[in-house]
Amino acid sequence: MASPQLHDLAIVGLGVMGENLALNFRRQGFAVSGFDVDEGKRERFAQRTGGSAPRSLQELAGALRTPRVLLLMVPAGAAVDAVLQDLRPWLAAGDIVIDGGNTRYTDTERRLAELQHVGILFVGAGVSGGEEGALNGPAIMPGGAPDAWPRIRPLLQAIAARAEDGQPCCEWMGPGAAGHYVKMVHNGIEYADMQVLCEAYFLMQELLGMSPREMSEVFAQWNRGELASYLVGITADILTRVDPETGRPLVDLIVDTAEQKGTGKWASQAALDLGVTAPTIAEAVFARTVSAVREQRAQAAQVLAGPAREFQGDRAAFVQVIERALLAAKVCAYAQGFGLLAAADQEYGWQLPMGTIAATWRAGCIIRAKLLEDIRGAYARDPKLANLMLAPHFADVMAGSHGALREVVASAARNGIAIPAFMSALAYYDAYRSQRLPANLLQAQRDYFGAHTYQRLDRPGKFHTKWNEERRD
């Protein structure tokens, strides 16, 4: 009697992402099994993929070729710990467990340490691209136990998206929690990118009085130039949609509140922890939190004063100004994201491959954009680039677009239109290019009330002044 076929890998968690990844693996010739505590999901998996869906983790592990490879696609947090605890009795040293969820990188560090003691190789892999990407090719950012990479590389690169040069959008990010950290930064940039696109839309709607159809044509045009990206493309598509019941643009019927799953917040918190300036990413998070207080905003609109909105000028010309401002803001957001990567690299010693990260984001992921090829090139020329804006190409981009960013911010301020991501990007740019900032006064203030000392320009060391005693009128 022939022995049953051993599977190449198993997927635990058979939601849409897990199921679509299984279909992707099978299309590439891999034998995949799956498990979920939900019997209905197991049945759907078996029917849709033709794969095996055992009723227990013991049976699942027993049907895998060794060293075993298991991909967890369960919600981040306690669910991952629960699955790992249930799996451990059925795994052996050298087996590989990949967490493919949006897990906080600090949790990945903890799990790596826990599993290392029993010889299980743990990998935290960021997977970006949503349901469509899972099925047709996501961007994958694995990191963790280095010994796992030779075994899982053929599996993951086979299902990953391909950039225009044919390279798979999946490379090893580094040891520890490097993979999940890179995915967190990806999502932070995604938050900022989405927010500046929403603000560009808001300016065209509130200041220029443009219809969704008109704006769709603008975004479609932008998607053929320097701003070409997945997010610009879907924005153009969204703005064409008409609600079949009312005949109105669907976007006008959607409630103006936005949810979040935490990755943008984690990126902002990491920036604070590591001392990195990332205001546009943080403002994108705060834009979602202020959108959530919709009833308060409705009340405030009746109580708080603001300027009358009036645009005087060439509407088509101002749309071009918004385009240049949008490019500048996006460069600032990417610069902040790569600053977050550089700071973590210094803190944790992961040796993050900056150019490779940009290359991995060129296809499959949500922030895929034409801009990323230029970013990849900038880090290929200078892997230790201190800030993306210092690369000659991006210095030229900012030289040609910061004026537009100023004009957009000034117009929004005069007309009382909230565009916090644009405004924060301009402040970030101006602060970074300032040889001198007012922190000298800040040092004096801290020394005045707390004796925290200060440094001087004309001599080394730290100094303290008894300000009350030595006051000069």
Active site residues per annotation: 183, 190
Contacts of 414 (CB under 8 A, 6+ apart): 307
List Cβ<8 Å contacts ≥24 apart for 294-299.
294/255, 294/256, 294/257
Sole residue written with tokens 């520890």: 176
**Amino acid occupying residue 116:** Q
**DSSP string computed for 170-192:** B---BSTTHHHHHHHHHHHHHHH
Burial class (CB in 10 A: 0-12, 13-18, 19+), 217: middle
Residues 330 and 401: their CA atoms lie apart, in Å, by 11
Looking from the CA of 432 toward its CB, the CA atoms found within 13 Å total: 21
Cis omega before residue 67 (within 30°)?
yes
Amino acid at the residue 229: S
Q: What's the half-sphere exposure (Cβ side, CA atoms, 13 Å) at 84?
A: 25
Query: End-to-end distance of the chain based on CA atoms, in angstroms?
Result: 100
CB atoms within 10 A of CB 467: 13
List the structure tokens of 40.
Answer: 């209905």
- If one counts every other C-beta atom within 10 angstroms of the C-beta of residue 461, the result is 7
Question: Which parts of 75-227 are beta strand (E)?
Answer: 96-99, 121-128, 139-144
